[in-house]
Amino acid sequence: MSYEFMDMINNHLEENILIKQQREEELAKKKQMRIQKILTCILSVGLILLSFMMETPH
């Protein structure tokens, strides 16, 4: 094998590794954003229920 061919293969593999890492980072960010949205929703519902319970006479 020529050095040029081996260099092409090496560059291709490096590009694939970088693309895979970028995809994994994007998926991790999306997952984190989804968790934050869910937690925000749960907290909002909790606060709404709490305020409703405080306003209702017992």
Report pLDDT digits (tens) over 3-47: 888 999 999 999 999 999 999 999 999 999 999 999 999 999 999
Residue 57 has pLDDT above 80, yes or no: no
pLDDT of 3 reads: 86
pLDDT of 11 reads: 93
In Å, how far are 11, 12, 13, 28 from 16, measured between CA atoms? 9, 6, 5, 18
pLDDT of 1 reads: 67
For 57, the token pair is 């006479």
Residue 58 has pLDDT above 70, yes or no: no
pLDDT of 46 reads: 96
Spatial distance between the Cα atoms of 18 and 15, rounded to a whole number of angstroms: 5
